[in-house]
Structure 1
Amino acid sequence: MSESLKLIVEAYVGLNDREAIQGLREHWQTIRGRLLASSSQWFDTSSLVRLLDNDLNEIEAGLARLQ
């Protein structure tokens, strides 16, 4: 996960801001969906999809810490 996203998730967890983390998750899911929809045989997007998946896992972990 990118260090900046990690810091953002940690800040939201510290603020107990579930809505902000859920919004972040929705945004990342939208980016991932658009990337998958626009991928073609000319561009290998698999590494970027893996990075987004890793970020989404960290976001999910942040949400789990709020429960």
Structure 2
Amino acid sequence: MSGAIGLIVEGYVSLKDQKALDQLRAQRRKLIADLNVCIGIDCTSTIQQIEEDIVVIEAGLARLDGPMTS
């Protein structure tokens, strides 16, 4: 997990900001789509890192959807 994306997601989860997390995930998905059409360079490792970011973001979203404990 990327340390930076983990901290960002933690911040949004603590603020219960689902919209920001949704936007962050959408931006990452667009980056992957843009990188998939690149010709002449190997973007495999970059795409893999972005996919790992999406996993972290989705875990944050799941925490917002799950039962809240005090």
Q: TM-score, normalised by structure 2?
A: 0.85
Tell me how many residue pairs correspond in the alignment.
65
Counterpart for residue 48 of structure 2: 50
Mapped partners of 1:19, 1:26: distance in 2: 10
**Which consecutive aligned stretches of 4+ in structure 1 deviate over 6 angstroms post-superposition?**
none
How do residues 1-67 of structure 1 correspond to structure 2 at under 5 angstroms? 1-37=1-37, 39-40=38-39, 42-67=40-65
Q: TM-score, normalised by structure 1?
A: 0.89
Gaps of 5+ in 2: 66-70
1:14-57 deviations in Å (ceiling 9; x for gaps) = 011100100100111111111111x22x3111111111110001
**Please, what is the CA RMSD of the aligned residues?**
0.9
